[in-house]
Amino acid sequence: IGRHPTPQVGPAKVSGVDRILAIGSGKGGVGKSTVSSNLAVALARQGRRVGLLDADIYGPSQPRMMGVNKRPGSPDGKTIIPLQAHGVTMMSIGLMMDPDKAVVWRGPMLMGALQQMLGQVAWGELDVLLVDLPPGTGDVQLTLCQRAELTGAIVVSTPQDVALLDARKALDMFNTLNTPVLGLIENMSTYICPNCGHEAHIFGHGGVAAEADKIGVPFLAALPIDLDTRLAGDAGTPIAAGSSPMAEAYAAIARRLVA
Ligand code: ADP
């Protein structure tokens, strides 16, 4: 973002919501949505009242990952009633549109949709609202940082240099918008062969931790490439809902984020 945006209205709290945490990435496909759904479920299992807003307008994957595909109701034609899944109150822009249609919205429409998701959804009382952002540094991120009082952002990256390069742009954006970065997560950080136990750093290793160190923000976790994580996401029951080392890894991040 080259220009400093001038918000027409200052950041506002979402009524009843204690903290808003945005989860961003520089690139798509690094596991941002996987991390968002699993953190939401892990937080809910720790007794938090959790909301998950899927704001990834170009590839909304939370309906699939959380296993919900009902269209949310709106009895009064204004307030949108969110859905419930795995103990999480959730809403996705994907539930309001045809899953097979590509989104070709322009900036103002995106902003309108996001504001609707924040202001018109009956979130109720929440300890934490997680927002799964679209990848990159576009209109949705800008609107969210300007219009909602964010507690902070978490950035997910894979270890490759190209992914890190883009993750740095996302970090830079949050800095410019005065959104505190609460930590970085390296996803797909290593692969352990289920047959022989050999560990391979397919996408490289350690780059995200080094970046966190360099910019002075917490390195929250290195999550491995894990077949069960992918299968669980595809099946609509996040791995964090069960018991496994991965579920424990997400529980540990959740405890750190919302102490
Ligand atoms: P993004 O939100 O960054 O676009 P997704 O969360 O949709 O990324 O993940 C992309 C794909 O990679 C999905 O199929 C997901 O199940 C898979 N995936 C994400 N994290 C892991 C992981 N740690 N191990 C294995 N597969 C993963």
Cα of 54 vs centre of ligand 1, distance in Å, is: 15
Q: What are phi and psi of 66, to 5 degrees?
A: -95, -5
Tell me the C-alpha distance between 90 and 94, whole Å: 11
142 compared with 108, residue with greater pLDDT? 142
With cut-offs at 50, 70 and 90, classify the pLDDT of residue 107.
Answer: confident
What's the pLDDT at 205?
84
Cα of 187 vs centre of ligand 1, distance in Å, is: 8
- Amino acid at site 113: A
Residue 31 Cβ contacting ligand 1 at under 6 Å: yes
Q: 11 lies in a domain?
A: no
Tell me the C-alpha distance between 241 and 131, whole Å: 19
Residue 86 Cβ contacting ligand 1 at under 6 Å: no
pLDDT above 90 covers a percentage of the chain that reads: 66
Residue 3: pLDDT above 70?
A: no
Q: By three-state DSSP, how is residue 40 classified?
A: helix
Residue 109: pLDDT above 90?
A: no
Residue 81: pLDDT above 80?
A: yes
Range of the domain at 121: 17-257
Average pLDDT over every residue of 164-175: 92
27 compared with 12, residue with greater pLDDT? 27
Q: What is the pLDDT of residues 186-237, one digit of tens each?
A: 999 999 888 898 999 988 888 999 999 999 999 999 999 999 999 999 999 9
Q: How many domains does the chain have?
A: 1
243 compared with 202, residue with greater pLDDT? 243
Residue ranges at the known binding site for ATP: 26-33
Cα of 34 vs centre of ligand 1, distance in Å, is: 5
CB 252 within 8 A of CB 221: yes
What's the pLDDT at 9?
58
Which of 27, 34, 52, 229 has the most ligand 1 atoms within 8 A of CB, as the residue to mutate? Answer: 34
Residue 35: pLDDT above 90?
A: yes
With cut-offs at 50, 70 and 90, classify the pLDDT of residue 64.
Answer: very high
pTM of the model: 0.93
Q: 132 lies in a domain?
A: yes
58 compared with 217, residue with greater pLDDT? 217
What's the pLDDT at 111?
81
Q: Which two tokens stand for residue 35?
A: 């991390």
Side-chain-side CA neighbours of residue 258 (13 Å): 24
State the closest ligand 1 atom to the C-alpha of 65, by its place in the atom list counted from 1: 16
Cα of 19 vs centre of ligand 1, distance in Å, is: 25
Tell me the C-alpha distance between 249 and 228, whole Å: 14
Residue 1: pLDDT above 60?
A: no
Residue 33 Cβ contacting ligand 1 at under 6 Å: yes
State the closest ligand 1 atom to the C-alpha of 37, by its place in the atom list counted from 1: 6
Q: 4 lies in a domain?
A: no
Q: 32 lies in a domain?
A: yes
With cut-offs at 50, 70 and 90, classify the pLDDT of residue 10.
Answer: low
Residue 62 Cβ contacting ligand 1 at under 6 Å: no
Q: 208 lies in a domain?
A: yes
CB 257 within 8 A of CB 52: no
What's the pLDDT at 4?
53
Q: 55 lies in a domain?
A: yes
What's the pLDDT at 76?
92
Residue 230 Cβ contacting ligand 1 at under 6 Å: yes
Q: 6 lies in a domain?
A: no
CATH number of the CATH domain containing 161: 3.40.50.300
With cut-offs at 50, 70 and 90, classify the pLDDT of residue 6.
Answer: very low
Residue 136 Cβ contacting ligand 1 at under 6 Å: no
With cut-offs at 50, 70 and 90, classify the pLDDT of residue 158.
Answer: very high
- Amino acid at site 43: L
Q: 10 lies in a domain?
A: no
Residue 133: pLDDT above 60?
A: yes
Residue located nearest, by CA, to atom 4 of ligand 1: 29
Output the average pLDDT for the chain. Answer: 90
- As a residue count, the chain comes to 259
